[in-house]
Structure 1
Amino acid sequence: MNIGVAVISDLHIGSGAKAKDFSLPGASEGVVDDYLSEFRKFVTAEGISADYLVVPGDITNSACKPEFELASERIAQIASCLGVPESKILFCPGNHDVDWETVKALSPLNHPEPQVIKSKYFNFYSEGALFSRNLSSATGRFDESPYLAVWEFDDVLICALNTSVFDGPDKKPHCGEVRPEQIAQIDKYLDGIDKTDKLKLFMFHHHPIQYLDSTFTEPDFSVMSNAVGLLDLLSKYEFDFVVHGHKHIPRFNMEIKDSGHPLSILCAGSFSASLDNKYYDAVGNRFHLVEFHDRCPQSHYARGSVKTWTHFVGGGWTPSLRRAGAEHQQNFGAFLPRAQLIEKIRIQFEEEFKSVQYLRWSDFISNYPEFKYFTSETLRASLKEVAKSMGLLLHEIDAFGLDKLVILKG
């Protein structure tokens, strides 16, 4: 398989960006002069490349035409840095990509909802911009029911849903939304697609999970309504990966739905928004590279890794730390009931510790690659159980990535 998908979300190009080159002339409060140049140097130094670039919403800050024009230019330049062809830049709108000024102007005229929706995405579909060009090769539109765009390539099927379509200045709360009738339409569409071995990726903007939030004390009412129905559908059709934005604090989760197919879900954080240190201390801006390696011969799950880097003003791009929401590398693509996984690890540990006093997890994975693609949190929980039963010590298991874990004989 060997497919690389770069992820940048919540750019907030315009008045919400941290960088002057991601802001409109004369209106910048950015604290970084040349963010694009910093990114290009980072990508070159790390030797990073990708086959696709996905942008799950909040591309602009206020959805005006000049912001979309600047966003079109900057995203194309980011793709060029990564070696991604323009035709393989995929995206969906976020709540900041809705033109509320147009909605306010039209509201006294009582136009039908479909007309208002078309109007508030007029700037998004501006002729000549990257977004209208690439949507011309997609099936479906973000301003027509069910508000789904689908791109199909030789190796990848990418679906993008507009979860901001029903938002507006007077709506309370400003949540993401997918309506039951949309889910039924999407179900019918996906049922009509021939079963394929292509990588299947689904993106939208709003978070589908009410994440544990230690940053804000106020309740978060912006989570997508009816998200469970959508995730059930994606599990039913065995999507390999789900990407969303909106929540500026990144996370990576695996969800097990009723159909039994696990969903790997990346909450991407923000690539270039200006983050308030009072709320986002140590979080920083994020760039992700999702690498799909192969499919498991037994389960047929797509296997791979998510690599994450963080940008801090003055510090540049550095590998992400676990304490800030998403550690630098996490794997995905394997699942077993915890009791079975614990027993498999315990059997191998008993054999290994017959001849050694300590064991590096990285060495263990090299010798027993069947454990490589379990998620980090699944492995942490299982390793703690094994250590407890065998009297082992797990050095700094909660502080750093598992690549630095050393298991000591008690």
Structure 2
Amino acid sequence: MSRSRLFFIMPFGVRQAGEPPGEHDFDDFYHRLLRPLAIREGWEPLRIDEVVTPGLVTTQALQEILTADLVVADVSSPNGNVYYELGVRQAIAPTGTVLVAVSGTVLPFDIANQRVLFYQKDFENDTAFAHAFADALREWDGGATQSSPVRSALEQLALVAQGPQVDPANFERELNLKIGRAQNHEQLIAVWHWAQKFSPLPTSGLLALAEGFADANDYTQALEVMTLASTSNPDYEILRMRGFYLRHLDDLESAAEEFQRALELNPNDPETLGMLGGVYKRTGNYSQALNCYRRGVALSPRNLYMLVNEAALAILESPGNPQGGVGLYEALLEFVSLDPRLTEDSWASLVRAEAMFAIGDESGFRKELAEAQRQGARPQDVRSVADQLALLGSAGYQSEMAARLEGVARGIAEDQRSGTQAKPALEKAYGLSEARRLVVHLSDPHFGSIMRDGRAIEMHRFFDGENSVRLSAELVVEIRRAANAGNYKPEDISIVVSGDLTYQATVAEFKLVEAFLQELCQELSLQRQQIILVPGNHDVDWRLAAIDVTHRFDNYLTFVRRFYGKELFEKLFPLIAWDFDIATDRPPANNIVLFSVHGPLAFVGLNSCVFETDQDHYGFVGLRQLDLASGLLEQAPREAIKIAVMHHHLHPFPEVLEAREGSDVWLDLSTVRDAGIVEQRLEQLGIDVVLHGHKHKPQLRETLVRHRMDTQGSTERKLVVSGAGSVGVNSRELEHSESNHFALVEVLRSRREADAEFLRVEWREMSYLPGANWATQQRWVING
């Protein structure tokens, strides 16, 4: 069970407080007393300065003020922000607050009648306050620990609805209005946190809220809402929806139990029978599934869902003797084709498509599938046809055709989900290839350590231990999640690591990187050519550079050759002719260029560390390297999506630079020095996407450089530049409030087309808060 959330409103730093006024360190008070006490009592404490999610601070503060289970406000200092936020909390939140203040604080009239827990400035020795504060947290029961006088006044004036116990009809109306106004997942979460403060909650509102979460694919939250509903009203519809959400969370055993409980209350509900049949089908219990669907057909003989699943299960139960199931499909096809009411029905078209497959008519399947798409078939309905074909094919029924048509159906489902226009999907249904790809963009893992004050300081965050696991294990779970969500097969995935694999470029550190990449390949069933690597400034051995500057890439190149193997290395790095003999000349730095074609994607990996040595630390690519890359890109398929990978960033980040001493200038010197010419040439080379790292924070840009010789419309394709933060460095190398980060870049189309959705970029971040998990902080869809 998740911890209750406790939000602190208080001044920051050292302020005047108490009577007589004296200095008081509020940060010290929070970190040394309030926060540890809250954690000990089972709360999840938070101050606004600890929020790491990108966004407006004022919006984030208001969200926490509204949704936190409990708010603690320190009113020791006449701080305008504290009193403003306290007023907002007491106006909009039905549950209240705990007020604390330094002993001697003179309280304003408006809050003088509220209970306040006073503490001594010598708070570490103030056991009376510690006990009182712990008791307040321990005794909180989800209701109003401290009454909300503003909210009470608004209720008495009928300006807001009273609680469900006082005015259930108006409260239910207000709850449904809030749910109806919620336009996204975050707003639904806010409504849910608000609603939980009241009891009892109306069943209609809970059903609507759970449905909203399910539409946003948050089945965990939907299940939580339905669990609350079931405790007060074990209605068969609530039990059925709990089973539905459990099924989507892959807890099939619990889902079956919920459906069976629902059938005990209403044995003649075809919808519950269909859902239970679906669970049995997913677990391979085809006999029980067929029984459920036959009962459903008997109760609802015109129900297409029951009829089509009865036909499929008849084949799955007896794949060696499929005639009975094929006969049911033939009868279903006749029934659907003759009913004029089903002519313009997308679900009926999908049923006809599946029946066409069952009788061996591939052309008919493609035609009906395209027709369903034209009629606006829902993505989940098209995916259900793909799932059905996959089951039938795996059982040995027309396996080759099933595999072909399953891919066609999944592609159209994705087009429907992303809102792609109809024409390309129709072309695809009739056989044109349209492959999607998932690019996992990692950067700056920084495996290794540095010596400080005579001891080794690890610069990498993730290790197997009591409170953490190694990075490879974290990412295997993450990439599988993304692959399952997007129906990506292992061969559809590319992993890009844009430099700074190590911290000091030692042989031992590169062996850690190799073990990391080997585990990703093994666990995710990836081939090594699906891994794209470029060097970063920390992958240059500065100690070797001090001896012989031409040897600075020795350890990196040796590692890359060992990881890929000699044959694949020579294919991916065709410009490197070095025989790896210690006595022979090393390749020029601008020849360390990777070129790889993976399906519709063509990768070119650039070395932005051309001048990185023990003395010079700055990014640079150079025209010579860009000319060499141009020659390699000529080998790419004409319609390929071209992705350039480099370590240093092309563009400055929006940030305030501190004043420097002497003749130094205010400038981000870590940007590629020749960024202007690099950006221009990449556009001229037809590069679609640039992936980079180095900055340890994410950034996404779309750029289009116009030149005075350009004609109108000569080039309109923007360069998409996506920068990843550090996926693995520890907090010493991250700026304040930054998290570890990686990006999921989905290439939605194998051809870039104007006004059609091209990329989906999702940022996954893990903060440094205890027990933090990877979470999506932002997601964008970029048109071509």
Return the TM-score normalized by structure 2. Answer: 0.36
Aligned to 2:608, which of 156, 159, 163?
163
1:89-110 superposed Cα distances (whole Å, 9 cap, x missing partner): 111000000011111123xxxx
**1:90 is the counterpart of 2:532:** yes
1:266-301 superposed Cα distances (whole Å, 9 cap, x missing partner): 101111011338x52332111211111116785397
Q: 1:14, 1:42 → 2: CA distance?
A: 23
1:243 matched residue in structure 2 = 691
2:571 matched residue in structure 1 = 137
Aligned to 1:230, which of 672, 678, 681?
678
Counterpart secondary structure, 1:282: coil
Structural mapping, 1:14-25, within 5 Å: 14-15=448-449, 16-20=459-463
1:381 matched residue in structure 2 = none
**1:263 is the counterpart of 2:699:** no
- Greater RCO structure (CA 8 Å; 6+ sep): 1
Q: 1:149, 1:33 → 2: CA distance?
A: 31
Counterpart secondary structure, 1:125: helix
Q: Given that residues 740 and 766 in structure 2 are in contact (C-alpha distance below 8 angstroms), is that contact kept between their aligned partners in structure 1? A: yes
Return the TM-score normalized by structure 1. Answer: 0.67
Shift of residue 120, structure 1, vs aligned partner? 1.4
2:626 matched residue in structure 1 = 183
Query: 1:125 is matched by which residue type in structure 2?
Result: L
Query: 2:735 is matched by which residue type in structure 1?
Result: Y
Q: 1:182, 1:302 → 2: CA distance?
A: 32
1:382 matched residue in structure 2 = none
Query: 2:782 is matched by which residue type in structure 1?
Result: F
Cα gap change, 1:233/1:66 in structure 2, threshold over 3 Å: closer, same or farther?
same
Q: 1:151, 1:201 → 2: CA distance?
A: 10
Q: 2:447, 2:638 → 1: CA distance?
A: 36
**1:333 is the counterpart of 2:769:** no
Structure 1: runs of 5 or more not aligned: 23-29, 107-115, 322-326, 335-410
Q: Given that residues 622 and 678 in structure 2 are in contact (C-alpha distance below 8 angstroms), is that contact kept between their aligned partners in structure 1? A: no
Give % identity. 21
The alignment yields a C-alpha RMSD, in angstroms, of: 2.9
Cα gap change, 1:86/1:239 in structure 2, threshold over 3 Å: closer, same or farther?
same
Q: 1:36, 1:179 → 2: CA distance?
A: 34
Segments ≥4 residues shifted beyond 6 Å: 215-218
1:341 matched residue in structure 2 = none
Structure 2: runs of 5 or more not aligned: 1-434, 450-458, 577-586, 661-666, 707-714
Query: 1:272 is matched by which residue type in structure 2?
Result: G
Q: 2:771, 2:698 → 1: CA distance?
A: 19
Corresponding residue pairs, total: 307
Shift of residue 226, structure 1, vs aligned partner? 1.2
Aligned to 2:767, which of 303, 308, 312?
312
2:436 matched residue in structure 1 = 2
2:296 matched residue in structure 1 = none
1:392 matched residue in structure 2 = none
1:357-377 superposed Cα distances (whole Å, 9 cap, x missing partner): xxxxxxxxxxxxxxxxxxxxx
Cα gap change, 1:260/1:120 in structure 2, threshold over 3 Å: closer, same or farther?
same
1:25 matched residue in structure 2 = none
User: Which is further off, 79-88 or 287-296?
Assistant: 79-88
Shift of residue 225, structure 1, vs aligned partner? 1.3
1:48-83 superposed Cα distances (whole Å, 9 cap, x missing partner): 665110101001110011111110110222344444
Shift of residue 237, structure 1, vs aligned partner? 2.4
Counterpart secondary structure, 1:74: helix
Structural mapping, 1:9-408, within 5 Å: 9-15=443-449, 16-20=459-463, 32-44=468-480, 47=484, 51-106=493-548, 116-117=549-550, 119-126=551-558, 129-130=562-563, 134-141=568-575, 143-144=587-588, 145-171=590-616, 174-190=617-633, 192-193=634-635, 196-214=638-656, 219-258=667-706, 259-276=715-732, 280-294=735-749, 299=754, 303-313=758-768, 314-321=770-777, 327=778, 329-334=779-784
Shift of residue 317, structure 1, vs aligned partner? 3.0
Shift of residue 194, structure 1, vs aligned partner? 6.0
1:401 matched residue in structure 2 = none
Q: 1:32, 1:217 → 2: CA distance?
A: 39
1:378 matched residue in structure 2 = none
Q: 1:199, 1:135 → 2: CA distance?
A: 22
Q: Given that residues 552 and 613 in structure 2 are in contact (C-alpha distance below 8 angstroms), is that contact kept between their aligned partners in structure 1? A: no
Which structure has more strand as a fraction of its residues? 1
Cα gap change, 1:35/1:296 in structure 2, threshold over 3 Å: closer, same or farther?
closer
Shift of residue 331, structure 1, vs aligned partner? 1.2
